[in-house]
Amino acid sequence: MWLRHLLERGLARRPEALALRDVRRDLTWRQLHREVSALAARLRAAGGPGSRVLVASGNRVEVLEAYLACGVAGLVACPVNPALTDRELADVIESVGPVLAVADPAQADRLGRLTGGRPGRELPVLDITGLAGLPADDAPRPGPDEGAELGAPVAILHTSATTGRAKGVVVTQRSLQLNALSWLADVRPEPGTVFLNAGPLFHGSMVIALDHLAAGGTVCVMDRFTPQGCLTALQDWGVEHAFLVPSMVRLLLDAKGLAGADLGRLRLLLHGAAPMPEDLAREARQRLGADLQTVYGITEGGGPALTLRPDEEPGPAPLPGAVCLGTPMLGTRVRITGPDGQEVPPGEVGELRLAGDGLMQGYWKNPEASGEVLADGWLNTRDLCCSGPDGRVWVVDRRNDLILRGGQNVYPAEIEHVLRRSPQVADVVVVPLPSPVWGQTPVAFVQSSEGHDFDPLDLLDRCVAGLAAYKRPSHFLPLESIPRNPSGKALRVRLRELALTLTTGGADDGATGPSTPVKESAA
């Protein structure tokens, strides 16, 4: 099975090299192998193959150990966001039916409150901070049916739910294997490369940490992202590769300590989860001294699926505001299709579909939702994309973010692209507002740059100069900060709700113009 092979290969080739690091401890490959083997034995005692294990913890090296141990033992890791409400956490527990939880002390207390006192339904909890003390398990294990193991589920990753209730994405070992091989081919990390994991480990981006482990690298895990903490980690740990979302990059560049930081070992900054504005990318290259590589991925697609390497020049965008995703990674095929399911010609917008062995098996206990996005072996990402003349893929917007004004398509990314050119704009997100006249009109939420005041008339002038009349926002609404989820995606559902409360009468009459400043944050 893939994760066992990954672990054994690291032990055989670099037993005393550093495999994992966080602020609490370092783990060599020898130590990692011992602790994962011990945890795998504990998991086998809790349930048979296919049993689910809840992983409820903040970021730490032991979370990656839990993923590896589930893969070795044949159980299924079910990580959860520690920020879930009790109701949301209870829903996940009810859905996946775990036989055991591996949790940090704070989450263990919550789980005790939620599952304690329910005869026959108590959830045993293993303290994740004590994995190093588990008794060693060196007993040989019978060789599994390799094909069956590769096709077996290894994780259920819950989507970030920017547009609705999260769904459990069932990921197999074959998916993780393909992802790692693709990463080795298209990112090319060398053995010993020091990688910084700055994002949460409870969602699909954790596969990038596993990819660097597969390359024989060292994975450094931040407890949580802060700009100064990231600078310290990059410098003190000698980080060479890092994965950040654009909002993290912006905060890093604004950090007061950047000028004095020694980032001389940083060679490659990988970015994804949201489009990277070109002006932000340009500034990052100049001030961080690293190459940038675009990575497009989706949890349902098994992680990274397309990439634009630093040595590739995509040329001008086919449509204003479109961002180049690059070409498919090894093992992934793409199509851009219209409403009839047929491929559209280059330059025409359609929905991006993916195919390959990395796709999810489906949504956990949700065959209806699975059937909606998986058809004939192709995953509908619902991202609106087009291809350029050279075949590279460009993303325009999410299907769910598309605004239909008077029967005409309005892409938020195009409006955001125009507004980001204003020096007063630090961040901007455009969402639809219901309109009795047009059906929907765009509304722009704006986070002002430091030292600049919110000036809606200037923003309107820029839109008049750069956009057709039907694309111009009907309101400009200031926010202290744009609310985003842990993976860096804007919480558009929350912003749509906020737009209704901040505009006159709760709906738009179709008029285009500035709004009265509202001094409150949606975060």
Q: Domain extents for the chain?
A: 1-10+25-127, 402-506
Summarize the confidence of residues 261-268 as an average pLDDT: 92
Summarize the confidence of residues 51-80 as an average pLDDT: 95
Distance CA 211, CA 215 (A): 6
What was the pLDDT predicted at 405?
82
Summarize the confidence of residues 271-283 as an average pLDDT: 83
Least confident residue range of 40-49, 73-82, 160-169, 372-381: 160-169
Tokens of 253: 């560049």
Q: How confident is the model at residue 521 (pLDDT cuts 50, 70, 90)?
A: very low
In this predicted structure, the answer to whether residue 314 has a pLDDT above a threshold of 90 is no
Least confident residue range of 83-92, 230-239, 262-271: 83-92
- Beta-carbon-side half-sphere exposure of residue 332 (alpha carbons within 13 Å): 35
**Higher pLDDT among residues 207 and 504, named by residue:** 207
What was the pLDDT predicted at 287?
92
The per-residue pLDDT for range 68-92, each reduced to its tens digit, is 999 999 999 999 988 888 888 888 9
What was the pLDDT predicted at 355?
92
Place of tokens 């060599």: 28
Calculate the dihedral angle through the C-alpha atoms of 219, 230, 447, 256, rounding to the nearest 10 degrees.
-160
Instruction: Provide φ and ψ at 40, rounded to 5°.
Output: -60, -40
What was the pLDDT predicted at 515?
59
Distance CA 342, CA 357 (A): 22
Top-level class of domain 1-10+25-127:
alpha beta
Q: From the centroid of its chain, how far is CA 195?
A: 17
CA distances from 460 to 196, 323, 330, 500, 509 (A): 40, 24, 44, 20, 17
Identify the three-state secondary structure at position 341: coil
Between helix 456-466 and helix 412-419 the angle, nearest 10°, is 120
The pLDDT mean for the chain works out to 86
Tokens of 83: 């920020």
In this predicted structure, the answer to whether residue 160 has a pLDDT above a threshold of 80 is no
Distance CA 400, CA 485 (A): 17
In this predicted structure, the answer to whether residue 197 has a pLDDT above a threshold of 80 is yes
What was the pLDDT predicted at 125?
93
Distance CA 170, CA 155 (A): 6
Q: Answer for the pair 227, 254: CB distance below 8 angstroms, yes or no.
A: yes
Q: Answer for the pair 405, 435: CB distance below 8 angstroms, yes or no.
A: yes
* Most confident by average pLDDT, 207-216, 366-375, 410-419: 207-216
What was the pLDDT predicted at 243?
94
Instruction: For residue 111, give the H/E element and its range.
Output: helix 105-115
Instruction: Provide φ and ψ at 437, rounded to 5°.
Output: -95, -50
**Higher pLDDT among residues 322 and 70, named by residue:** 70
What was the pLDDT predicted at 163?
43
Q: Is the pTM of this model over 0.75?
A: yes
What was the pLDDT predicted at 248?
85
What was the pLDDT predicted at 431?
87
Q: How confident is the model at residue 15 (pLDDT cuts 50, 70, 90)?
A: very high
CA distances from 285 to 246, 266, 364, 449, 486 (A): 13, 11, 41, 20, 24
Summarize the confidence of residues 1-8 as an average pLDDT: 90
Distance CA 49, CA 43 (A): 10
The per-residue pLDDT for range 348-372, each reduced to its tens digit, is 889 999 999 889 999 999 898 888 8
Identify the three-state secondary structure at position 9: helix
In this predicted structure, the answer to whether residue 167 has a pLDDT above a threshold of 70 is yes
The per-residue pLDDT for range 506-518, each reduced to its tens digit, is 445 545 555 544 3
Q: Answer for the pair 183, 159: CB distance below 8 angstroms, yes or no.
A: no
Topology annotation, domain 402-506: GMP Synthetase; Chain A, domain 3 (3.30.300)
Least confident residue range of 27-36, 254-263, 430-439: 430-439
What was the pLDDT predicted at 519?
38
Whole-number percent of the chain with pLDDT over 90: 47
What was the pLDDT predicted at 162?
43
In this predicted structure, the answer to whether residue 307 has a pLDDT above a threshold of 80 is yes
Residues 6+ apart with CB under 8 A from 367: none
Distance CA 350, CA 384 (A): 5
What was the pLDDT predicted at 121?
67
Distance CA 115, CA 91 (A): 12
Calculate the dihedral angle through the C-alpha atoms of 57, 58, 59, 64, rounding to the nearest 10 degrees.
10
Tokens of 230: 């990231």
What was the pLDDT predicted at 198?
92
Q: How confident is the model at residue 487 (pLDDT cuts 50, 70, 90)?
A: low
In this predicted structure, the answer to whether residue 441 has a pLDDT above a threshold of 90 is no
Residues in the chain, overall count: 523
Distance CA 71, CA 54 (A): 14
**Strand pairing of 408-410 and 403-405?**
antiparallel
In this predicted structure, the answer to whether residue 223 has a pLDDT above a threshold of 70 is yes
Least confident residue range of 100-114, 128-142, 333-347: 128-142
What was the pLDDT predicted at 17?
96
CA distances from 194 to 109, 206, 246, 252 (A): 34, 15, 21, 19
Residue type, 56: A
In this predicted structure, the answer to whether residue 300 has a pLDDT above a threshold of 80 is yes
What was the pLDDT predicted at 93?
92
What was the pLDDT predicted at 159?
78
As a three-state string, the secondary structure of 156-210 is EEECCCCCCCCCEEEEEHHHHHHHHHHHHHHCCCCCCCEEEECCCCCCCCHHHHH
Whole-number percent of the chain with pLDDT over 70: 90
Residues 6+ apart with CB under 8 A from 475: 433, 443, 444, 499, 502, 503, 508, 513, 514, 515
The per-residue pLDDT for range 115-152, each reduced to its tens digit, is 876 655 689 999 999 998 898 876 556 555 555 588 89
Closest CA to 447 of 433, 461, 430, 432: 430
Count CB-CB contacts under 10 A for residue 44. 18
**Strand pairing of 393-398 and 268-271?**
unpaired
